[in-house]
Amino acid sequence: MARLILASSSPRRKELLEQVGLSFDVYSPDIDESVFINEQIEPYVERLARQKAQAVLSQFPDATVIAADTSLVFNQQIMGKPESKQHAFEIWTQLSGREHAVLSGVCVANAQHSITAVVRTQVEFQVLSHQMMEDYWATGEPIGKAGGYAIQGYAAQWIPRIDGSYSNVVGLPLHETLALLKQLNEYSEYA
């Protein structure tokens, strides 16, 4: 099998792939993550995953690349990473007591083939008090996280239910990613 590269600097994606025993290198491409005018969320995360994979393949053409992009969506709006404490509180106020979706576009590619999938997980949040938000902000965990929370950390206590892939909410849907990798290897054997 060709050299495997994770096209991401996310420590969570790295940990997830290590968890299932994969050996890989990490290379984080620099791409424009702007949303196109009228672009829907599913095509957006799929496009970014594909662009990340292609950017890495342009540097390492003999590699097999795993790339992903994950967005948290509420009311058809992408909720990014909090830029400040105030922004985090605004995000959490919207999520409090409601459901939101986490969508990941995943692309597994080599020089001959590129295959993608989009995975959606519904996440239910309990009602958050102002003090809960203050306490969470003080942990430092929300910084750099889409939606300002980490399901695998302190915020797990606020999530009574998810519908879909847990690892998707962490940052990479493992089941689907490994299925794509297997499919790519099968394509490559017969190419």
The catalytic site residues sit at 69
List beta partners, residue 72.
79, 102
Task: Provide the CB-side half-sphere exposure for 165 (13 A, CA).
Answer: 19
Decide: 71 and 146 in contact? Cβ < 8 Å.
yes
- The residue length of the chain stands at 191
Q: Indicate the SS3 state at residue 102.
A: strand
CA distance 82 to 75: 17
Q: Closest Cα partner for 101 from 31, 37, 45?
A: 45
Place of tokens 């915020």: 155
